[in-house]
Amino acid sequence: MTKVRAFGRYSAKKEIEAIGVDAELGFVDCSDEQFGVRKYRADPAAPDAALELALELALFEMIGFASDHEDISIYPQAGGQGYILVSNQRADSFRIFPRAGTSGKPHDHPLLASVRVSSRESDGSEVTVEALPGFPGGLFVAMSTDRTFRSYAWADLAAAAKLK
């Protein structure tokens, strides 16, 4: 393989636990555990590829996390809309933020909702918008610390969070 890029900063507080890639919008979100979510351009040829676009401490409202924020999952919707889900590991919940930011501020991601899940201390998650058998609106999966996987219908998660 050929290395095409090195980027990113690290607080050294704990570890980079998760990376979420939003191919459509062109961003990489890195969970710098116990510090914040760092946001960069995905395209290594972009003029600002090495620039940290946002250290989303306040923007991703890191205040209020019980301890670690580990997983990052992206639920894309048409027109760049959708959601970013970040685990609140010690609270057995996921915090949900707008994928596209707010009007005129694409790197401003205010907290929309927090949803408790049955996964314990989630240590990995993924979401798909694709219809699957039994999950017509998509599927969210979170791994518990005991290495079991819990599946949730996106429609149920969205309803619990009162999302559109």
Q: Mean pLDDT across the chain, nearest whole number?
A: 84
pLDDT value of position 66? 62
> Per the structure, how many domains does the chain have?
1
Residue 157: phi, psi to the nearest 5? -65, -45
For residue 82, the model assigns a pLDDT of: 94
Whether residue 147 lies inside any domain: the answer is: yes
Note the pLDDT of residue 138. 96
Is the pLDDT at 70 greater than 90? The verdict is no
- List the domain range (segments joined by +) for residue 139: 60-161
Which residue is it, tokens 């930011």?
Answer: 101
Predicted TM-score (pTM) of the model is: 0.84
Q: Flag whether 131 is in a domain.
A: yes
128 inside domain? yes
Q: Is residue 117 assigned to a domain?
A: yes
* Sheet of strand 27-32: strand arrangement: 16-22, 27-32, 36-41, 54-55
The whole-number average pLDDT for the span 23-28 is 92
98: domain CATH number?
2.40.10.500
Strand 139-143: give its sheet, edge to edge: 125-128, 139-143, 149-153
- Higher-scoring residue by pLDDT: 46, 153: 153
Answer for the pair 100, 118: CB distance below 8 angstroms, yes or no. Answer: no
Average pLDDT over every residue of 49-70: 64
Listed range (3-12, 88-97, 140-149) with the worst mean pLDDT: 3-12
Q: Is residue 49 part of a domain?
A: no
In a domain, 2, yes or no: no
| The pLDDT of residue 3 is above 80 | yes
Whether 126 is in a domain gets the answer yes
Residue 57, pLDDT score? 47
Q: Which residue has the higher pLDDT, 123 or 68?
A: 123
Structure tokens at 75: 């639920």
Q: Identify whether 106 is part of a domain.
A: yes
